[in-house]
Amino acid sequence: MSLNRKNFLRTFGAAFGSVALGGIPSARSSEPQKKPIVLSTWEHGLDANDAAWKVLSNNGKALDAVEAGVRVTESDPENRSVGLGGNPDRDGNVTLDACIMDHTGNCGSVAFLQHIENPISVARKVMEETPHVMLVGEGALQFAEEQGFERKNLLTPGAEKAWKKWLKKSEYKPVINVENHDTIGMLAMDEEGNISGACTTSGAAYKLHGRVGDSPIIGAGLFVDNEVGGACATGLGEAVIRVSGSAMVVEQIRHGATPQEACELVLQRIINNEKNPEELQVGLLAIDKAGNVGAASIHKGFNFALHTGDTPNELVDAKYLLKKQK
């Protein structure tokens, strides 16, 4: 029997009966936003949204907007979790992951890519210039150079200094809401009502060499289905991959959930699945075809930047599900 909206909401409500919701609920997340719309993770999303808005407000395409938007964060040397200046792995290599998806279901991705400042643009080239979805490591680098991307040293002096300090103890322990987990994920809807998304990161700081998180994985870090909506993720990638986080959010919307409900439902699944949810953070963003947006996280502290046809670019606190924090 297919799940109609009423049934779904009952199930949903029951599942949430025991969950302590905290945070500052965004009033704006409960009503459809006026097109165009762009939303992106964390405070660095404000600058990224500005670049995306230039495209969207000139009647540009959502795909061009999300690429232009997250490139700003990738090229910011002060940002320690994305692109140039990203924290390296435990051996001192900056290795980047990114993916992009458009309203036709086309997608492209790069993982474990080194020496290239804007992996999102390489991911777009994979989507547009190859029959593949994903290129990794040396092959992704070779492809990027063939496409004219310049090879660079991405390890900035500041990131190198912090890594050398970390080496003294060499303790790998993700800290909730601290700079070692802060991907930019962005979703945009253009004037035509088409949705695209992008996600890009240097991954978990001081990770094992070769580790890839959720961010370049279509369905985990990002998913778009233009008939239904889009979602993206930030936080501990392993936890997001284990539930196919972004695809799962979009599927919940397909079955009748609002974007807000869908984000909370998937986070609740992560909380139920993980052994120590109080020690990990995941944040999710979502948008549906009507222009409703949603955002939630496991712990307090996740925020996102939202710019719509109605309201200027601003930072919004996401709802969070667990009150207990380690």
Catalog residues that contact ligand ASP under the rule CB under 6 A: 81, 181-183, 201, 203-204, 213-215, 234-237
Name the residue nearer to ligand ASP (CB basis): 215 or 308.
Answer: 215
Torsion angle, alpha carbons of 68, 70, 76, 77, to 10:
-130
How many residues make up the chain in this entry? 326
Name the residue nearer to ligand ASP (CB basis): 121 or 180.
Answer: 180
- Residues 205 and 71: beta-carbon distance below 8 Å: no
For residue 324, the minimal CB distance to ligand ASP (Å) is 21
Both tokens of residue 182? 């802060």
| Helices assigned H by DSSP within the chain | 5-16, 45-56, 62-74, 119-129, 137-146, 157-169, 237-242, 245-254, 259-273
Report which of 271, 267, 270 is spatially closest to residue 257, judged by C-alpha positions. 267
For residue 83, the minimal CB distance to ligand ASP (Å) is 13
Q: Which of 41, 156, 183, 234 is catalytic?
A: 183
Distances (CA, A) of 222 to 16, 24, 248, 296: 24, 25, 10, 15
- The rounded distance, in Å, linking the Cα atoms of 240 and 60 is 31
Both tokens of residue 111? 């993982």
CA 118 to chain centre: 16
Name the residue nearer to ligand ASP (CB basis): 29 or 234.
Answer: 234
Name the residue nearer to ligand ASP (CB basis): 47 or 182.
Answer: 182
User: Which residue matches tokens 């979602």?
Assistant: 231
Name the residue nearer to ligand ASP (CB basis): 128 or 179.
Answer: 179
Name the residue nearer to ligand ASP (CB basis): 55 or 122.
Answer: 122
For residue 281, the minimal CB distance to ligand ASP (Å) is 8
- Active site annotation includes 200: no
Distances (CA, A) of 107 to 31, 122, 128, 221, 314: 29, 12, 8, 12, 28
Give residues with Cβ within 8 angstroms of 203, minimum separation 6.
86, 89, 95, 96, 97, 211, 212, 213, 215, 237
State the catalytic residues.
Answer: 183
